[in-house]
Copies of this chain bind each other. A is one copy, B any other.
Amino acid sequence: MTDTWTLHPDRALPADPVTRPIAREIYAAVQDLPIVSMHGHVDVDAFADDEPFPDPAQLLVVPDHYLTRMLVSQGANLPELGVGPAGAPGFEADPREIFRRFCAGWKHFRGTPTRYWTEHELVEIFGVTVRPSAETADQVYDQIAERLAEPDFRPRALLDRFNIEVIATTDPAWSPLDAHSRLAAELPGRVLPTFRPDPLLHPARATWRGDLERLATASGIATDTYDGYLAALRERRAAFVAAGGLATDHGHFSADTTPLPDDVARTLFEKAFAAEPDTGGAVLSAAEEAAFSAHMLFQMAAMSAEDGLVMQFHPGVLRDHDPAVAAAFGPDKGYDIPVAVDFAQGLRPVLEAFGNSQSFRMIAFTIDEDVYSRELAPLAGVYPALRLGAPWWFLDAPDAMARFREAATETAGFSNMSGFVDDTRAFCSIPARHDLARRVDAGYLARLVAEHRLDLDEAVETAADLAYHLPKQAYAAR
């Protein structure tokens, strides 16, 4: 390694000498298309306040659970990476020290997308000139820190530099949407809210009663009855629509969407609500909780068919696999583990009811690869309301993305895909992620061309569809 670190222009394109030049040509045609980031988790305040990002560790390491989980798997603990309550034993407050630990563990990221994205960020965005290691950690830190102090590295400037045409944030159902109101005036149509009601649809969560109150406050509708609860949800959805929102976002354990008879749902709500607030709704049995959540997914679909919000659905994650970690450090710390999902039977009630409707759209994401060819592609290949989301989360990686194309395209075609979304809270990784997806798609399409299964003009058009036009279409208001 020298200290002139550069990225190869052909990275992540197929190696085969027949396919690579075709891939290059396809990639060149989409490389500079604007970024449409319709599913992500960057904090809206970053854009509303437009403050400089903090230090390199707080920007790149601490909030990125892809990255901290790998270091944890190799023996680090979360506090020494600056994660968790500031007062906890071993908590590291010095960002430079945290960054050193990350650089010392650089080897462990080999073969992972974290490595790929981070390289892209360091070289392309921050102009870092040396590969991270225990020895170079301070040099890399300083190079990034210097950049972060410049005005060109504030969020709104980066929004332009990254060529982001539109970006969606994810917001609680009870969000007052103040920041979005300011942004609607200052950056019209550029930063959109997404309605995420998950905690309100799970009475067993300890926060449920408190969240119901937040919902009541935000909506101005009492949530102490089932009807009020539904009305308040409907009101907030309307507020999101008014604020430019195009979509909702739903993460459930199961894909079940079976509706309950109204009186059964009402009774479950009342039973959960009657429990002492400090027990949450834990008075529901596990089966009742699951049935109520499934029922509420159906209600969300029904409301989407009315108000046109696109329903993003990504079930199949066992959250907080180690509850002790969640208790000590909070959620989203890398201990969320996928489980098998049954989309064919789970989505059936919603698709029977709304799957052939032009006023409803669902985009389904999964981290259970089995369902691509078995369930999701066959479903999306017939129901007009269903689109397949990009390979999600752990599967947002070069080989996994290629497997998705290979497994889903032959049955669902390209037109039933919703195109790439980055699904990230790591703002500076967004260009890297979209660029990588465009490269992988170029490689897949190039193979189809090289195998004479597609003409080059079609491949170029399809690459642009996947990168730009399909997400625009898929997330358009219904």
Asked if A188 lies at the interface with its beta carbon under 8 angstroms from chain B, I say no
One digit per residue, 1 when the CB lies within 8 angstroms of any chain B CB and 0 when it does not, for chain A 296-309 equals: 00000000000000
Residues of B within 8 A of A205 (CB): none
CA–CA, A12 and B452, complex, Å:
6
Residues of B within 8 A of A450 (CB): 15
Question: Which of B19, B351, B451 contacts A11, CB < 8 Å?
Answer: B451
- Shortest CB–CB separation between residue A101 and chain B, in angstroms? 15
With A378-B394, A447-B15 known as contacts, the answer to whether A112 contacts B411 (CB < 8 A) is yes
Q: What residue in chain B is nearest A369 (Cβ atoms)?
A: B373
Q: What residue in chain B is nearest A74 (Cβ atoms)?
A: B415
- Shortest CB–CB separation between residue A259 and chain B, in angstroms? 16
| Interface 9-mer from A144-152, A222-230, A262-270, A398-406 | A398-406
Asked if A4 lies at the interface with its beta carbon under 8 angstroms from chain B, I say no
Residue among A379, A380, A399, A448 facing the most chain B CB atoms (10 A cut-off): A399
Residues of B within 8 A of A112 (CB): 409-411, 413
B373 touches A1 (CB 8 A): no
| Interface 9-mer from A50-58, A89-97, A336-344 | A336-344
Asked if A421 lies at the interface with its beta carbon under 8 angstroms from chain B, I say no
| Interface 9-mer from A287-295, A318-326, A422-430 | A318-326
With A318-B344, A337-B344, A394-B411 known as contacts, the answer to whether A454 contacts B110 (CB < 8 A) is yes
Question: Which of B321, B344, B375 contacts A344, CB < 8 Å?
Answer: B321
Residues of B within 8 A of A19 (CB): 15-16
Asked if A190 lies at the interface with its beta carbon under 8 angstroms from chain B, I say no
Question: Which of B72, B344, B368 contacts A374, CB < 8 Å?
Answer: B368
Residues of B within 8 A of A109 (CB): 413
CA–CA, A457 and B448, complex, Å:
29
- Shortest CB–CB separation between residue A80 and chain B, in angstroms? 13
Residues of B within 8 A of A184 (CB): none
| Interface 9-mer from A39-47, A272-280, A352-360 | A352-360
Residues of B within 8 A of A1 (CB): 455, 457
Within 8 A of B (CB), among A372-403: 373-375, 377-384, 386, 394-395, 397-400, 403
Q: What residue in chain B is nearest A318 (Cβ atoms)?
A: B344
CA–CA, A188 and B340, complex, Å:
46
Asked if A345 lies at the interface with its beta carbon under 8 angstroms from chain B, I say yes
- Shortest CB–CB separation between residue A53 and chain B, in angstroms? 26
**Copies per complex?**
3
CA–CA, A36 and B46, complex, Å:
52
Residues of B within 8 A of A182 (CB): none
B414 touches A406 (CB 8 A): no
- Shortest CB–CB separation between residue A365 and chain B, in angstroms? 14
- Shortest CB–CB separation between residue A466 and chain B, in angstroms? 11
CA–CA, A377 and B447, complex, Å:
28
With A109-B413, A400-B410, A448-B111 known as contacts, the answer to whether A382 contacts B69 (CB < 8 A) is yes
Residues of B within 8 A of A416 (CB): 73-74
A351 touches B338 (CB 8 A): no
With A17-B18, A453-B11 known as contacts, the answer to whether A321 contacts B348 (CB < 8 A) is yes
Asked if A32 lies at the interface with its beta carbon under 8 angstroms from chain B, I say no
Asked if A126 lies at the interface with its beta carbon under 8 angstroms from chain B, I say no
CA–CA, A452 and B130, complex, Å:
16
Residues of B within 8 A of A72 (CB): 382, 384
Residues of B within 8 A of A318 (CB): 344-345, 348
- Shortest CB–CB separation between residue A443 and chain B, in angstroms? 9
Residues of B within 8 A of A13 (CB): 451
> Would you list the 9 A-B pairs with minimal beta carbon distance, nearest first?
A15-B450, A11-B452, A397-B410, A8-B452, A111-B409, A69-B382, A108-B415, A394-B411, A399-B406
Mind listing 21 A-B residue pairs with CB under 8 Å? A7-B452, A11-B452, A11-B453, A12-B451, A13-B451, A14-B451, A15-B451, A16-B17, A70-B381, A73-B412, A74-B415, A108-B415, A110-B454, A116-B453, A318-B344, A321-B352, A337-B344, A367-B378, A368-B370, A373-B394, A400-B407
